[in-house]
A and B are shown apart, each in its own frame.
Chain A
Amino acid sequence: MLARYVVRRAVASIPVVFGVTLITFTLLHATSGAFVPGLELNPNLRPADIIRIRNNLGLNDPLPLQYWHWIAGAWPPSFHCSGGLICGDFGRSLVDGSPVRDHILERLPNTLELTITAILLGVLISIPLGVVGALRRGSVIDNFFTFLSVAGVSIPSFWLALLLILLFSVSFHAWGLPWLPSGGAVNSFEGGDPIDRLTHLILPASCLAFVYIAIWSRFTRSSMLETLSQDYVRTARAKGMSERRVTYLHALRNSLVPLVTLIGLELPGLVSGGAIIEIVFSWPGVGRLALERALQYDYTMVLGLTTFIALLVVIGNLLADVLYGLLDPRIRYA
């Protein structure tokens, strides 16, 4: 049963992936495609040079042919892998000719490091905040947390990032306090050790976690409140169980289950979630790569990157579906 369900969902995903490649391909080639890398104000480039370079990069072929090259490699088709998406070749950068896949694989771990840390941070802080809010419902501290939550989703993340950098990096350094680095993942020289990575990770991960905390703490709170009003909790109390046991043993554990659902929703967005944060903090992840290359009109890179990310999203959705299928048998038979 489960296997059939998984296969069904997987097969349904394939046209989605191809649809994505078609969309991104069409979008990128909607421009006149006049850009040739290196054509800065270089007085030495002749029109013949430009034509030659474009030819070498295959930019002058007809569009359907370019799309075929993109998906399946060389034309006419053969059985062994000659490139193309099917063979895992996501193209080559227009700017420096390097394979897109290499860039992605280099940067992906950094992005995951950032988003996973942010999620962990989010969970670690949301739960206590939500529990306290629920237990002390209506109190000053609950109202304060509520206000923080609403404010949290209203603050632009890039502005927060900017202010944090100005405070914890530049100002702290100027005031002689221990300061945090303002960007990058590691120190350029003799960096890379865990402490170094951690100091670079704190600010961007906190920024990213900020929104998670705002939303999840509210959710935990309301989920906790709902659980606390359930019959079995009242029964437990009536049976004489201590308040603390009631809270933590029963109520908390059960109220966390819906939270897991929420976190699961973040799975597909794991790779794309931190793009703006990556940009502001010069974090060497795939989000920043997308923007950098988009600004350089490196079409093939952005195309390959977006396709790859979309692929991951589809896989992420598939995994999430499988997970729910496992948890909730009703879904399998739908």
Chain B
Amino acid sequence: MSREEAPGEEGFREFEDFLKHWSRRDFVKRMGIGAAYTAFLAGGVEFMEACANAGTGNPTTVTPKKGGHLTEGTISDIKTLNPVLTSDTASSEIVGLLYDSLLNLTANGDLRPLLAKALPQTSSDGLTYTVTLRDNIKWTDGSPITADDVKMTYDFMFDPQYKDVNSPRRGDLEQYVKSITVKDAKTIVFTLKSVYAPFAVNQLQYGILPKKLWGSLAPKEVNTTDMNTGPTVTSGVFKFQKWDKGQQVTLARNDGYWQGAPYLDTFIYKVVADSVAIGNQLKTGEIDYGQIDPSQFSDLSAQSSLSVVTFPVAIFTFYAYNQNSTAKVAQMFSDKAVRQALLYALDRQGMADALYFKQAVVATSSMPPISWAYNKDAKPQYPHDPAKANSMLDAAGWAKGSDGIRAKGGQKLSFTMITNAGNKVRENSLVAMQDAWKQIGVDATPKLITFPQLVAQITNDRSYDVFLVGFSWSAEPDQSALWHSRNTAPGGFNGFSYKSSAMDKILDDAVATLDQNKRKQLYFQMQDILNDEVPAPILVFNKGIWGINKRVQGMTGGDFGLGTYTQFQNKAWMRTTFVSDGK
């Protein structure tokens, strides 16, 4: 945006006042400076009002236009269109548009009923969840969605007779669910083996399949049926049109959608080579919106045709100290002072600024700040303090040798760090960490391996010294996957062998009650313990960054706008989205 665009010097000055008046952080960051200026030119007052509305509902000043297409750019192609089999983000994104689920989430992570009439009714002992379906929900062929459809879908993932279905959800369902029964055409009852608070959030958001077409399939056929690549009868806001493998998926409006048809005619999920291509195609308009890298934030924000929205997400990067008894470094890392000192030595804010281009937030505890269980006062905290790191290591007996590397009892404070190749931010993180630790006399060497090898190391081999990887929490605050001792078993993600019976009890108690206040207290305790013990410190929490073409309206703002929990599988904003040129 250059001065030549200003209608006059005066206009520009007024715009600057406008920006000062309206909090830059909030509004401008979400809509982009270009958008702000254009909007200001278009009619400042109405626009300011619209912004006031943005907090509570969708901006309503522009009348929605029917028709047109919307193209999302993505790096990965989908793999399957079967909600029972999906395990990757891309597939679940499209599945979410094709098949509705019992519940979904608002942008902030609150549960909302979708196919269900209301949130599940829980019994007083917390063991049964009764879900009643709405009356007006139907499949694209006109027939109503019934409890039988729900039961069949869950049977694929739970019932012993469907063991041959390659569903990644079977493990969890088998562990927590005792039975699933149909009470009547509109009611399903889930009975659990024990009270499990995360059940509704984690297990009731799967797309439901129509029994009419799927009920007669043999278990193995569920894995290979053509309906996995070309679904015929669906229930979601869009219908399947075609899938050009490796290029794009095309969806068409579902006119009979029970919530009302969307404005758009077509939705296209276009596969491009990499994030650079997403940036390029956003600029040329070949795609309408897509998730972008932090490095592209400033470039795309400066484009007059685009707005860039950012919001916190529960995705983070963390590293772990191997404390498996067989690890060579276990002795080294068993000393809490060492673990803490190493964390003090890292300039995490510097990393967030340079590696994430300021589009990430330094983690203050293991809980994402957006969670209702977030403890903002978790102690201790770890600001960048190399002096403290040095003194802590000195006090712990690690003296600097002649080569500048600390040693104790003949063992050098030296180790390798692994992460997966191909992820620039992670690779660069290791380089930054190596440098920061070199300053305090610690010799850390980065090593890149393939992603499957990394996963194998974390879940099975566990012969690494330190690993760095990304992870994500669901809208549920339960963090047993990383911190519970039972997940130190082979296959579990507690690959650094953190075992604490106190922590186990906190985690178990926290999921065994539905009382949110009680859970919150327990999670506060959990965060304090983790901040003290730092078995696997979290570096930063990422931000979701999306570039959106200005012609796209109705995608952001309000409870269901594009946000933390409405990025991928849950595109609750698709109903209100339209393109201003109707094309």
Q: Do chains A and B touch in the complex (CB under 8 A)?
A: yes
Contact B223 A56 (CB under 8 A): yes
Residues from chain B with a CB closer than 8 A to the CB of A65 are: none
Contact B79 A96 (CB under 8 A): yes
Q: Which residue of B lies closest to A182 (CB)?
A: B280
For B168-186 the 0/1 string (1 means CB < 8 A from A) is 1111100000000000000
Contact A188 B246 (CB under 8 A): no
Stretch at the interface among A67-75, A76-84, A173-181, A238-246: A173-181
Residues from chain B with a CB closer than 8 A to the CB of A194 are: none
Q: Which residue of A lies closest to B81 (CB)?
A: A96
Contact B284 A182 (CB under 8 A): yes
Q: How far is the CA of A186 from the CA of B284 in the complex (A)?
A: 14
For B358-369 the 0/1 string (1 means CB < 8 A from A) is 000000000000
Residues from chain B with a CB closer than 8 A to the CB of A106 are: 244-246
Residues from chain B with a CB closer than 8 A to the CB of A102 are: 245
Residues from 26 to 73 in A contacting B, C-beta threshold 8 Å: 32, 34-35, 37-50, 52-53, 56
Contact A282 B168 (CB under 8 A): no
Stretch at the interface among A208-216, A248-256, A287-295, A312-320: A287-295
Q: How far is the CA of A39 from the CA of B171 in the complex (A)?
A: 13
Residues from chain A with a CB closer than 8 A to the CB of B87 are: 37-40, 42
Q: Which single member of B80, B281, B453 contacts A182 (CB below 8 Å)?
A: B281
Residues from chain A with a CB closer than 8 A to the CB of B248 are: 188
Contact A295 B287 (CB under 8 A): no
Contact A48 B280 (CB under 8 A): no
Contact A45 B247 (CB under 8 A): no
Q: How far is the CA of A110 from the CA of B229 in the complex (A)?
A: 21
Q: Which residue of A lies closest to B164 (CB)?
A: A56
Q: Which single member of B71, B246, B493 contacts A289 (CB below 8 Å)?
A: B246
Q: How far is the CA of A288 from the CA of B273 in the complex (A)?
A: 9
The distance from the CB of B367 to the nearest CB of chain A, in whole angstroms, is 16
The distance from the CB of B248 to the nearest CB of chain A, in whole angstroms, is 5
Interface assignment of B268: CB less than 8 Å from any CB of chain A? yes
Residues from chain A with a CB closer than 8 A to the CB of B224 are: 97
Residues from chain B with a CB closer than 8 A to the CB of A49 are: 168, 170-171
Interface assignment of A187: CB less than 8 Å from any CB of chain B? yes
Q: Which residue of B lies closest to A45 (CB)?
A: B168
Contact B245 A103 (CB under 8 A): yes
Interface assignment of B272: CB less than 8 Å from any CB of chain A? yes
Contact B455 A185 (CB under 8 A): no
Q: Which single member of A43, A46, A53, A173 contacts B166 (CB below 8 Å)?
A: A53
Q: Which residue of A lies closest to B226 (CB)?
A: A98
Residues from chain A with a CB closer than 8 A to the CB of B281 are: 182-183
Residues from 89 to 120 in A contacting B, C-beta threshold 8 Å: 95-98, 102-103, 106-107
Contact A35:B452 (CB < 8 A) given known A49-B171, A182-B286:
yes
Interface assignment of A165: CB less than 8 Å from any CB of chain B? yes
Interface assignment of A269: CB less than 8 Å from any CB of chain B? no
Q: Which residue of B lies closest to A291 (CB)?
A: B273
User: How many of chain B's residues touch chain A, expressed as a range?
Assistant: 35 or more
The distance from the CB of B500 to the nearest CB of chain A, in whole angstroms, is 19
Contact A182 B166 (CB under 8 A): no
Interface assignment of A272: CB less than 8 Å from any CB of chain B? no
Q: How far is the CA of A181 from the CA of B284 in the complex (A)?
A: 8
Contact A38 B88 (CB under 8 A): yes
Q: Which single member of B166, B451, B487, B490 contacts A56 (CB below 8 Å)?
A: B166
Residues from chain B with a CB closer than 8 A to the CB of A45 are: 168, 171, 491
Contact A41:B273 (CB < 8 A) given known A56-B166, A174-B283, A183-B281:
no
Q: Which residue of B lies closest to A174 (CB)?
A: B283
Q: Which residue of A lies closest to B224 (CB)?
A: A97
Interface assignment of B447: CB less than 8 Å from any CB of chain A? no
- Counted as pairs of residues, one from A and one from B, with CB atoms less than 8 Å apart, the total is 132
Q: Which residue of B lies closest to A96 (CB)?
A: B79
Residues from chain B with a CB closer than 8 A to the CB of A169 are: 280, 284
Q: How far is the CA of A288 from the CA of B220 in the complex (A)?
A: 31
Interface assignment of A333: CB less than 8 Å from any CB of chain B? no
Of the listed residues B87, B452, B456, the one surrounded by the most CB atoms of chain A closer than 10 A to its CB is B452
Interface assignment of B450: CB less than 8 Å from any CB of chain A? yes
For A4-43 the 0/1 string (1 means CB < 8 A from B) is 0000000000000000000000000000101101111111
Residues from chain A with a CB closer than 8 A to the CB of B268 are: 188-189
Of the listed residues A48, A56, A106, A183, the one surrounded by the most CB atoms of chain B closer than 10 A to its CB is A183
Q: How far is the CA of A292 from the CA of B74 in the complex (A)?
A: 14
Residues from 364 to 378 in B contacting A, C-beta threshold 8 Å: none
Residues from 186 to 214 in A contacting B, C-beta threshold 8 Å: 186-190
The distance from the CB of B543 to the nearest CB of chain A, in whole angstroms, is 19
Q: Which single member of B273, B283, B284 contacts A282 (CB below 8 Å)?
A: B273
The distance from the CB of B271 to the nearest CB of chain A, in whole angstroms, is 8
Contact B171 A282 (CB under 8 A): no
Contact B422 A295 (CB under 8 A): yes
The distance from the CB of B267 to the nearest CB of chain A, in whole angstroms, is 10
Interface assignment of B69: CB less than 8 Å from any CB of chain A? yes
Contact B283 A284 (CB under 8 A): no
Interface assignment of A170: CB less than 8 Å from any CB of chain B? yes
Q: Which residue of A lies closest to B87 (CB)?
A: A38
Residues from chain A with a CB closer than 8 A to the CB of B455 are: 39-41
Contact A44 B273 (CB under 8 A): no
Contact A107 B246 (CB under 8 A): yes
Q: How far is the CA of A43 from the CA of B88 in the complex (A)?
A: 13
Contact A183 B272 (CB under 8 A): yes
Interface assignment of A279: CB less than 8 Å from any CB of chain B? yes
Residues from chain A with a CB closer than 8 A to the CB of B283 are: 170, 173-174
Q: How far is the CA of A185 from the CA of B472 in the complex (A)?
A: 35
Q: How far is the CA of A45 from the CA of B489 in the complex (A)?
A: 12
Q: How far is the CA of A289 from the CA of B77 in the complex (A)?
A: 11
Q: How far is the CA of A165 from the CA of B277 in the complex (A)?
A: 10
Contact B223 A97 (CB under 8 A): yes
Q: How far is the CA of A95 from the CA of B87 in the complex (A)?
A: 10
Contact A40 B88 (CB under 8 A): yes
Interface assignment of B266: CB less than 8 Å from any CB of chain A? yes
The distance from the CB of A199 to the nearest CB of chain B, in whole angstroms, is 11
Q: How far is the CA of A38 from the CA of B80 in the complex (A)?
A: 11
The distance from the CB of A11 to the nearest CB of chain B, in whole angstroms, is 36
Interface assignment of B471: CB less than 8 Å from any CB of chain A? yes
Residues from chain A with a CB closer than 8 A to the CB of B218 are: none
Q: Which residue of B lies closest to A55 (CB)?
A: B164
Contact A38 B168 (CB under 8 A): yes
Interface assignment of A280: CB less than 8 Å from any CB of chain B? yes
Q: How far is the CA of A185 from the CA of B246 in the complex (A)?
A: 11
Interface assignment of B6: CB less than 8 Å from any CB of chain A? no
Q: How far is the CA of A38 from the CA of B77 in the complex (A)?
A: 14
Q: How far is the CA of A208 from the CA of B424 in the complex (A)?
A: 28
The distance from the CB of A166 to the nearest CB of chain B, in whole angstroms, is 8
Q: How far is the CA of A179 from the CA of B280 in the complex (A)?
A: 12
Contact B287 A47 (CB under 8 A): no
Contact B277 A182 (CB under 8 A): yes
Q: How far is the CA of A170 from the CA of B481 in the complex (A)?
A: 44
Contact B71 A189 (CB under 8 A): yes
The distance from the CB of B245 to the nearest CB of chain A, in whole angstroms, is 6
The distance from the CB of B66 to the nearest CB of chain A, in whole angstroms, is 16
- 7 pairs of residues in contact across A and B, judged by CB atoms under 8 Å: A106-B245, A107-B245, A179-B284, A186-B247, A187-B286, A188-B270, A297-B451
Contacts A39-B452, A292-B77 known; 16 new A-B pairs at CB < 8 A: A37-B87, A41-B470, A44-B172, A45-B171, A45-B491, A46-B491, A47-B491, A49-B171, A56-B164, A97-B224, A169-B284, A170-B283, A170-B284, A174-B283, A282-B273, A288-B273
The 6 closest A-B pairs by CB, nearest first: A38-B87, A43-B481, A47-B491, A46-B171, A96-B79, A282-B273
